[in-house]
Amino acid sequence: MDVWSSLMDGFATALTPMNFLYAVIGVVLGTAVGVLPGLGPAMTVALLLPVTYALEPTSAFIMFAGIYYGGMYGGSTTSILLNTPGESSSVVTAIEGNKMAKAGRAAQALATAAIGSFVAGTIGTALLAVCAPIVVKFAVSLGAPSYFAIMVLALLAVTAVLGSSRLRGFASLGLGLAIGLVGMDSVTGQRRLTFGQPLLADGLDIVVVAVAIFAVGEALWVAAHLRRTPLHAIPVGQPWMGKSDWKRSWKPWLRGTAFGFPFGALPAGGAEIPTFLSYVTEKRLSKHPEEFGKGAIEGVAGPEAANNAAAAGTLTPMLALGLPTNATAAVMLAAFTSYGIQPGPQLFESQGALVWALIASLFIGNLLLLLINLPLAPMWAKLLQLPRPYLYAGILFFATLGAYSVNLQAFDLVILLVLGALGFMMRRFGLPVLPLILGVILGPRIEGQLRKTLQLSAGDPAGLLSEPIAVGIYVIIGIILLWPFAYKLFRRNRPAHKPLVPANSGAADYSD
Amino acid sequence: MTVVVGYVPTPEGEAALTQAITEARKANSTLVLINSSKGEAAVDSRFAQEGDIQDIEQRLAGQGIEYLIKRPVRGHDAAAEVLDAAEEHNADLIVIGLRRRTPVGKLIMGSTSQRILLEADCPVLAVKAGR
């Protein structure tokens, strides 16, 4: 009953007029950036970080949560109407969704996506409310060696499992860890990677790094590819569903939720794998397999539910362990730090009111999203007519303003531009951005746990293996790292089969 | 002899195209169709769809006129693209479609047609869509 009463307290906080207003702002902004390809919730939260310094942390997080969920809803609109996924997690939605829209069933596709997202989001949030305290109970018993192992697992898994190229993933992770190292060593006070520059002694501000990589890097990248042949959005009226659509949708919604939540909650789950699994499952179980590839509603309902459930799942390790597994969660974690709140298992204890208000606001946000997405879908599609130069000029302006306002130092603008150029080059050479941002955010915390472990064991590396959970996790890490080699051996005398997702579903895998 | 027509998939654009075909047949000249977009927004409804363009090609071929369809996407506005094409092909006539507007509406909104009318070196024929 403890969870229940805490959650009710959360609702009481989240429903105060001010917080409710921020929830509305959050979901509207989130849907907008979700609809626009290339803009994602991670970039938006990063841009808003400096702006929200003046707010109550609770209000700020309620807004961020709205943006996060809203991005998931908005992404599907673009996928269905334009065949260009707004977010990487809605790549799979585009396969069937766009076919449905072309066949004149855009309204049904949008409806099943929005209602499915609502169902999955609500169930996922409920699971989050139930699971997170359990994970916390388990987590407080963990010592530094286990923590270190879990964080290493998260970093390696995100790097090695997601994304197309491991080499590029690890290159990006290395860059991130290096950026995270800049500044004064917390134990010995030595200066690392400061190049004699006193302004670097405090390290790079995470807000500046996030804004540079997400906003400036993306803006430069778009500026370099400004002119693209315009696409045609399929015109759509009010989304609605007939009786048979409901009948065919509800099971995929529930199955999608079942895929999405656990994958989201795992370190390195992400939303892409469960959406794909859900698609394949629906294809196999469908009573209308002949419709797949021509616009089957199950192929929209399942993956859309999966990505929203995964979004809720991702918040479980973020809130319970302080372990982000996607870019938005990583930036939200950085936001905790910048409010002086220590993320980790003690968060539920020390900031209980904030956490429960956040979870309650997720329920509210979900309902709001359903309300603004169902009747207003045609209006959201209009956003796609926005000329990119205006949009990105605005983003650059906010990025610069934000980076300067963090410390009121002109030097931060130099860092912003340098890292923005780095973000641009990474996109140019296909390096994923997520490992970098996780490296920057988790790097110092990993180092802290490593130092603690080694101090406890008086410098003996064997201390890293002193807890059974840690050993178990290292085994998993070993499997993840060796898996591709084993797979290659296994597959040597088998013909490769074709990928199920068409190669042209060009969602940028950094926009998540 | 060349007729340049600025085409957009709207009633005004259709009216301009129909008129341009008549003019091209009368003078037995080449028809150059311009349908451009700045390419700055993800979606541009004034950039014709592939299917529309194929329909137009069939229509032009059926009329037995020489034609050239250009769909530049290079960040120039439609007026610049039409004027460019007119200069490049030594156009004898430019055909454009006009929207019906009140004087106040005209004052507030800038217009592609106005720029073509002011800057073109050859006669410009402005057509309105039937009510």
Interchain CB contact of B40 with A (< 8 Å): yes
Residues of A with CB below 8 A from B44's CB?
230, 385
- Per-residue model confidence as pLDDT tens digits over A317-344: 889 888 888 888 889 988 888 888 888 8
Q: Say yes or no for a CB contact (<8 Å) between A229 and B75.
A: no
- DSSP element (H, E) containing B4: strand B2-6
Could you tell me how many helices (H) and strands (E) chain A has, helices first?
A: 21, 2
Residue of B nearest to A228 (CA): B39
3-state secondary structure of A390: helix
- Which backbone phi and psi does B70 adopt, to 5 degrees? -120, 135
Asked whether the beta carbons of B129 and B15 are under 8 A apart, the reply is yes
How much is the CA Rg of chain A, to the nearest whole Å? Answer: 22
Looking at residue A23, its pLDDT comes to 93
Q: pLDDT class for A498, splitting at 50, 70, 90?
A: very low
Tokens of A61: 């997080």
Q: Say yes or no for a CB contact (<8 Å) between B73 and A232.
A: no
Looking at residue A158, its pLDDT comes to 82
Q: Say yes or no for a CB contact (<8 Å) between B37 and A229.
A: yes
| Nearest neighbour of A230 by CB, restricted to B37, B74, B75 | B37
| Nearest neighbour of B40 by CB, restricted to A36, A37, A227 | A227
Q: pTM (2 decimals)?
A: 0.84
Residues of A with CB below 8 A from B39's CB?
226-230
Q: Say yes or no for a CB contact (<8 Å) between A230 and B44.
A: yes
Asked whether the beta carbons of A403 and A50 are under 8 A apart, the reply is yes
Residues of B with CB below 8 A from A389's CB?
40
How much is the CA Rg of chain B, to the nearest whole Å? Answer: 14
Query: Average of pLDDT values for A151-161?
Result: 84
d(CA A275, CA A263): 10
Kindly report the three-state secondary structure assignment for every residue of A256-319: HHHHHHHHHHCCCCCCHHHHHHHHHHHHHHCCCHHHCCCCCCHHHHHHHHHHHHHHHHHHHHHH
Chain A closest-CA separation from residue B103 CA (Å) = 27
d(CA A384, CA A235): 12
Residues of A with CB below 8 A from B45's CB?
232-233, 385
Closest CA to A13 of A343, A363, A361: A361
Q: pLDDT class for A421, splitting at 50, 70, 90?
A: very high
**Sign of the dihedral defined by the CA atoms of residues B56, B61, B62, B65, in that order:** positive
- DSSP element (H, E) containing B27: helix B11-27
**Sign of the dihedral defined by the CA atoms of residues A90, A95, A98, A101, in that order:** negative
Mean pLDDT of chain A: 85
Asked whether the beta carbons of A161 and A480 are under 8 A apart, the reply is yes
Tokens of B130: 């039937």
Tokens of A491: 């597959």
Chain A closest-CA separation from residue B123 CA (Å) = 31
Q: Say yes or no for a CB contact (<8 Å) between A227 and B47.
A: no
- To the nearest 10°, the Cα dihedral for A383, A384, A385, A390? 80
Interface contacts A/B by beta carbons within 8 Å: 55
Residue of B nearest to A86 (CA): B42
The pLDDT of residue A479 is above 70: yes
Residue of B nearest to A81 (CA): B43
- Per-residue model confidence as pLDDT tens digits over B51-81: 888 999 998 888 888 899 988 888 888 889 9
Residue of B nearest to A35 (CA): B42
